[in-house]
Structure 1
């Protein structure tokens, strides 16, 4: 199976390294110093589950040199969705599955507008990883799974085939009949944790051990749930309790990727996280005061320094 990784950052690089180490034909689409380091020295993955040095690494900044593949793992920043989706057209043949592993919940719709609904599989990644040096990715927890499914829902033979390859490569993969609900279940905690670690500028261990901040987190999760239900999403009835419990298993020093972008003066995914909750809340008449406040406080920094 030929696999392309569009966006070789923490998420794409992590799963791509495991897939490549297992012997799959994997090509990374990257750019800049990270691309040059991978071409020169290979891709290094470091963390508690073991290190991988994928060398040589197939890497390029031009998808046209790769041609159609079986699977594209699409793991770019949300603000780059349209540009990246247009760029991968040479990778997409009649049977190619483009699995979105982006943050947020509106990415698959935006991808489908460019690539067509038949090509796009909404998905969610559960991993905490980031580029620590060009050509090197460090992961900071034992989370290691993806869930995805067809855009229209239902069964997916191509999805099941890829899930088997993922499991053989060393991480869990599940095909869902309702991937949108899975995206929203993840989004409840994702949007909240991104807002809090970036807004407070403290790691998970300090935030979720403070009773007042725990209460704030719960209130923010409930805002996301209210918006999702107003949109007709079949969220897990216990998702707030499960998300609160999950905060207690986070590594104490963990920050959401939006914090790292803020800290490094890079553009942030703010408009697709708290900004999206705020925007849809206004449209649907659902109050979202906490997410709206964080969005307003971070708005001056959303495009980077």
Structure 2
């Protein structure tokens, strides 16, 4: 089984090593010093109990050198995946499956739906239908990522917690390809349950990410503070309530309530969310898949989202000022431009 990890950062590298341990023929798409280190010394994953796994894996920055794969796992952030959609095509044979191991609303979300939402496109996560056309939704296997990891030095990944990757076909089918993928992941020591309602899983994780990430980036507070301070907890609760109304209108079911979801986040402790870490390191912020897409879906199903709208506007502006959110909204005139502004 040939599997390419497109984006062998912390999560992608961890997943790739564990898949190799399970018997897959794994190749990694990486870049920079991390790529150089993997080529020279191999990839190492360090675990909390002091043990580590090491493997010499084929790594490259040139997808054309690898040829068609059985599976391509996209472990990039949503905006990065959009940018390189056409670069993945040399990896795609007639039966190649593409696993979207990303946070937020995926570009293929409405593939497999019937009725009024059938094959609707989400512009905020796939402008111009770039991924829809280059990859094709029929290739997709949905994936929710639960582990946390970080690159401590080039070629070395520290596994922080979690070993579960939820899998699901957008069409809800129980296919041979998803069963084979789950089996090789579990052979490598991962948990890979198959969930026909993968969208429920996606929303459960998105539920927290859409509020905790931007609030932490705006305030520089860690997750435990955001989830327990009365003010920020109230904002998070309101955003989650709006998102729940949207999700339920398109058929999503939540297995926990808002209070339990927030309390679970508080128990994680003094964790710096990924958006806060990206802001501090000057990396592009993953705003659109976590927030803009939810706003877009709210308008689709006629749900007002004043709290999401407000936090989205603030975090977008913060990102633009910091130079880490390069997109710009469509122009809107909120006042009469003929009137002079008064200070």
TM-score strictly above 0.5: yes
Aligned-residue CA RMSD (Å): 2.1
Kept in 2, the 8 Å contact 1:154–1:178? The answer is no
- CA deviation string 1:44-94 (max 9, x = no partner): 222315543433221011111111111211111111223333211121212
Structure 1 residues 127-136 or 267-276, which shifts more? 127-136
Over residues 231-269 of structure 1, what are the superposed CA-to-partner deviations in whole Å (9 max), with x where a residue is unaligned? x1322253434422421331x231221111111111111
Distance 2:102 2:66 in 1: 22
**Equivalent position to 2:251, from 222, 233, 246:** 233
What is the CA deviation profile of residues 138-165 of structure 1, one whole-angstrom value per residue up to 9, with x for unaligned ones? 2322x22111222322212211111111
Report whether the alignment pairs 1:193 with 2:212. yes
Match of 2:284 in 1: 267
Structure 1 position 299 matched with structure 2 position 316: yes
| Distance in structure 2 (CA, Å) of the matches to 1:15 and 1:215 | 36
Q: Higher mean Cα deviation, 277-286 or 34-43?
A: 277-286
Please give the per-residue CA displacement for 1:279-305, whole angstroms capped at 9, x wherever unaligned: 333444322222222222221315528
Taking the TM superposition and a 5 Å limit, the aligned residue runs for 1:188-227 are 188-227=207-246
Which residue of 1 is the match for residue 174 of structure 2? 155
Name the CA shift for 1:51/1:107 in 2 (closer, same or farther; >3 Å): farther
Q: Aligned with 1:108: secondary structure? A: coil
CA distance in 2, matches of 1:8, 1:36: 12
The unaligned stretches of length 5 or more in structure 1 are none
User: 2-side partners of 1:132 and 1:202: how far apart?
Assistant: 22
Measure how far apart 1:194 and its partner are: 1.3
**C-alpha contact (below 8 Å) 1:81/1:107 kept by paired residues:** no
1:79-123 Cα shifts (integer Å, max 9, x gaps): 122333321112121222111011111333543332122211122
Q: Any idea what SS the aligned residue of 2:254 has?
A: coil
CA deviation after TM superposition for structure 1 residue 5, in Å:
0.4
Please name the residue that 1:248 is paired with. 266
Relative to structure 2, which stretch is displaced further, 16-25 or 182-191?
16-25
SS of corresponding position for 2:200: helix
Give 5+ residue unaligned stretches, structure 2. Answer: 110-125, 326-343
Which is higher, the Rg of structure 1 or of structure 2?
2
Instruction: Identify if the C-alpha distance between structure 1 residues 255 and 188 changes in structure 2 by more than 3 Å, giving closer, same or farther.
Output: same
TM-score (norm 2): 0.81
Separation in structure 2 between the aligned mates of residue 192 and residue 49 of structure 1, nearest angstrom: 32
CA distance, structure 1, for counterparts of residue 47 and residue 217 of structure 2: 23
| Alignment of 1:123 onto 2:143 | yes
